Amino acid sequence: MRKAIAPLLLLIGMAIAAQAQFVSLTAGELKKLKQAIDTDQQVKGQFEVFEKTARKALAETPGPVALVHSQGLLMGDPVKTASLKAVEDGPKVYALALCSRLYDNRDYLKKAIDYLLAWAKVNKPNGDPIDETKLEEFFTGYDLIRDQISKADRKLIDTWMESIAVAEINSPFARPDKSTAKNNWNSHRIKVIAQVVYAIHADRYRDTVNKLVEQQLVQNLYEDGSSYDFAERDALHYHIYTLEPLLKAMIAVQRGSGKNYYAFVSPTGSSVQRSVQFLLPFVTGEKKHGEFANSKVKFDRDRAANGEKGYVAGHPFEPKNGIIVLSLADHFDPLMVKVVKQVMGDQYLDWQLVLNRVQKAK
C-alpha cells in the first residue's frame, strides 16, 4: 500500500505544480493580498486603482488590433496612436482578473475572458519586442485566471500567446548582426518569452529562456555595472529600460523554477545585481547625469526635435525614474526598499512592492 501512495502523492504534486501561477499570484498569495487590502490603507489605496479600472471595463468593449506597432514611430503618428490605444486593454484584463480572483466575482472573470478571446482571435505576432512588450498585462492577467477558463477557450488563448513567444524566439531583431540582439530590445524579448512560457506552462521552452537570460548578461551588462544601452544612449533612461524587463523575466524564472539569476555572475563578471548597484547613486542623488548628451542613436535626436518630453539632450536624470528598477530588485534584495523609502519617503508604496510583500520570494 505504501508503495502505491508515493507515486500517487507525486502525481498530485505534479498536478498542483502544473496549475501554479508563476507570473502573477498563487491562491495563497491572493489570500495574503486580500488580507492586506482589508487591513492596510496604503495597500487598499493601491488596489483601488485596479478596482476602478475593472468596474469601468465591465461596460467597455475590447479593441484588439491585428498588429501592435508603435516602435520607431514618433508620437502623433496615427498607427502608433491606434496601437497605444488598443493595448490599454491589457491593464483592463489584469484588473478584471485580479478582482475576479480576490472576490470570486464571475462578472469580472467573464469580462476578462471576453477581452482575452477577442485579442486571441484578432491579434497576430510580429516578433518586435518593443511592440509586444506592451502586451505584458495580458500575460499576467491570464496567468491569474487560466485555471478558471474552459478547456476550449484556454487552448485558443494559449495558442495565441505561444505564437507570440515563438515569434520572439525567432525574431529577425535577434539576428547576431543586429544591435537589437543585445540591447534593451533583447531584454524585452526575453521578458515576453519568459512571461508567456511560465503563464501557459510551456515547459519545453524553459531551457531557451535560461540560455537567453545568461547570454544577455554577457552581452548587455558590463562588469562595472553599466550596460550596453547606457554606453549607446548616454542615458540612465535606457539602463533602466533594459534592467526592468530583465528583472521581470527573472522573477518569472525564479518563481517557476527556483533558479535565481539576480546575483548570478556571468563569465564576463557582469550581473543584474551589479547593474542595479550602478544605478543606485543616481537614484539617491549622490551622482548626477545629463541624459542623452552623447547619444549615438539618431532616433533620440528625432524625438527631441519632435518635442517629446524626456529626450532633450543634457536634461538631468530624475531620480524617481529609477524607482521601478529598485522595486523589482526588492523581490530579490530586501535592502532595496530602504533606498526606495529614502528617495520617495517612508509612506511610499507601489504595486510591485505590494506584490513583493505577499510573494515573499526573498
Question: Domain coordinates of the chain in residue numbers?
Answer: 21-170, 223-362
Query: Can you give the pLDDT at residue 8?
Result: 43
Q: Say which amino acid occupies 151.
A: K
Contacts of 110 (CB under 8 A, 6+ apart): none
What is the structure's pLDDT at 105?
97
pLDDT of residue 18: 45
State how far the Cα of 87 lies from the Cα of 65, in Å rounded to an integer: 9
**Dihedral sign of CA atoms 32, 153, 22, 170 in order:** negative
* Distance (Å, whole) CA 256 – CA 250: 10
Do 102 and 24 touch, CB atoms closer than 8 A? no
The predicted structure's pLDDT at residue 10:
39
Low-confidence ranges of the chain (pLDDT < 50): 1-18, 361-362
Spatial separation of the C-alpha atoms in residues 264 and 261, rounded to whole Å: 5
Q: Mind listing the pLDDT tens digit for each residue in 39-68?
A: 999 999 999 999 999 999 999 999 999 999
Please report the pLDDT score of residue 19 as a whole number.
57
Count CA atoms within 13 Å of residue 309 on its CB side.
1
> What pLDDT, on a 0 to 100 scale, did the predictor assign at position 362?
42
Contact 92, 57 (CB under 8 A): yes
pLDDT at 20: 81
Q: Is the pTM of this model over 0.85?
A: yes
